[in-house]
A and B are shown apart, each in its own frame.
Chain A
Amino acid sequence: MNTEHNTAQIYIAALGLVTMILGLVDILVWIGFTGGIEFGIMGIAGDDFFRWAWGGLVVFLGGALMLSGCRNVGNIQEFSKVLLGAALVWTIAACDIFAMICENIPAGEEAPEFLNSFAGFVGGFAPPYAPAVILLPFTLVIAYFFYAWGFADES
């Protein structure tokens, strides 16, 4: 195993752990351990079952897959677990971003007009963001590994 793989292993392990924790927090907030929380640019509202309980479970399992495959990332079978874990996070993040886009197109409930203003549309993408959206750029590194290490050609 080369140094690049070692570094990647540590990176993926850390990312998997953080992902698992954030997925668990999503679920705990939904259960009601605490009200909605905001931490820096991250926010967990915990108000919707599908998004926070189910979505949290998907993110948690994504983290678990990353952790389980991080021990030997040079091996395609192990790396596939890591890639699958990242794909779970991408799925939730994509849902969150799609929801943001859809929510920002119409104007607010009390506004007389139907469509949002341009400033309102852009402003709707301001923080806080769901954990999966924050994790998204970090998990894209796994896609880079997938191509850089030749797994894409192998598969």
Chain B
Amino acid sequence: MRARLILVSLLMAALLCTTAMAHMPGAAPAPDVELLPIQIYDGNKLVEISIDDLAAYHGECTGQGPSKCPCVVIGYRAAEAGINVLYGDEIPERSDIRIISAYPSLGSLQDFQYITGTGPGMDCKETGTFNLILADGTEVTDFSKKNIKKISGNIGPEDCRFTIIRESTGESIDLAINDDIFPSDYFDLRKKVKITKNATPEESQKFLDEYVALRDAGLTKPAWELFKGIDEPPEEEPDVFGGGIFLSIFILFVAAGIIIIRRK
């Protein structure tokens, strides 16, 4: 009896966790993809920031449990892509990173706060810089949930722009989301479902489908398909010379082996 109770409790806990992870009721779980973590130095300490860390931090800040919502995913991919372009194989110092976002969403905002170490509850030796500057040039300093929700009521895909800056050299990269990433009615539906809360059940379902598709695209598409500003790496030409040398030696060895064995 006791074992059954424990089993039922565990099953219920697992179900609750699934709902919490989804953050959006009814959303399918995020696909299990391996995204490389962002590596940065916090003082002398190497810190690896994964999408799961950001989802957990977002959940902690919102009090709704870990969530890989589209905004968390897009913020992570933008930071990852920008840092890759600016630093290449180098690992940046946290204090050398500055991120300017024009996208007022809690998910991406908390991503950037976590990466730069400027978010609430962060215990970092060094901090980078994060600014939320809207498309009209207004800088937002009140990052409360209420204020961000209020500002984000009228955003569109054109607001999904980020600038990543390498402070030590002054180099920067501007990233804007590609036109085909957000469905054309995504922000209208988002407003109805999340802000004004007057969506019909059909609209809610459509938003849910688009939400899941957007999140999955953010997790699985390469950076150059997500953002303007990132060039697709050129396809590598096969190294025919290197391969040819190996094949020639291999064929020579095999031929020599066959000849020796036949002679014996």
Contact = CB atoms under 8 A, between A and B. Distances in A.
Interface stretch (B82-90, B116-124, B241-249): B241-249
Given A97-B250, A122-B247, A140-B253, A127 B238 contact: no
Nearest to A144: B260
Contacts of B243: 121-126
Interface in B214-264: 237-244, 246-247, 249-250, 253, 260, 264
A119 interface: yes
A120 interface: yes
A125 B253 contact: no
Contact of A120 (B238, B250, B253): B238
Contacts of A119: 238, 240
A72 B201 CA distance: 84
B250 A123 contact: no
Contacts of B249: 137
Tell me the interface secondary structure of chain A in the complex: helix
Contacts of B260: 147
A27 to B, nearest CB: 22
B250 A122 contact: no
Interface in A3-44: none
A126 B253 contact: no
A34 B237 CA distance: 28
A104 to B, nearest CB: 8
Contact of B242 (A97, A120, A126, A137): A126
A103 B243 CA distance: 13
Contacts of B246: 125-127, 129
Most buried by B among A97, A123, A124, A137: A123
A124 B242 contact: no
A129 B246 CA distance: 10
Contacts of A129: 246
Contacts of B240: 119, 122-123, 126
A124 B241 CA distance: 10
A122 B253 contact: no
Interface string A118-155: 01111111110100000001001000000100001000
Contacts of A121: 243
A28 to B, nearest CB: 19
Contacts of B241: 126
Contacts of A152: 264
A46 B141 CA distance: 46
Given A122-B240, A126-B240, 8 more contacts: A120-B238, A122-B243, A123-B237, A125-B243, A125-B250, A127-B239, A127-B246, A137-B253
29 contacts: A97-B250, A121-B243, A122-B240, A122-B243, A122-B247, A123-B237, A123-B238, A123-B239, A123-B240, A123-B243, A124-B238, A124-B243, A125-B242, A125-B243, A125-B244, A125-B246, A125-B250, A126-B238, A126-B239, A126-B241, A126-B242, A126-B243, A126-B246, A127-B242, A127-B246, A129-B246, A140-B253, A147-B260, A152-B264
Interface of B: 237-244, 246-247, 249-250, 253, 260, 264
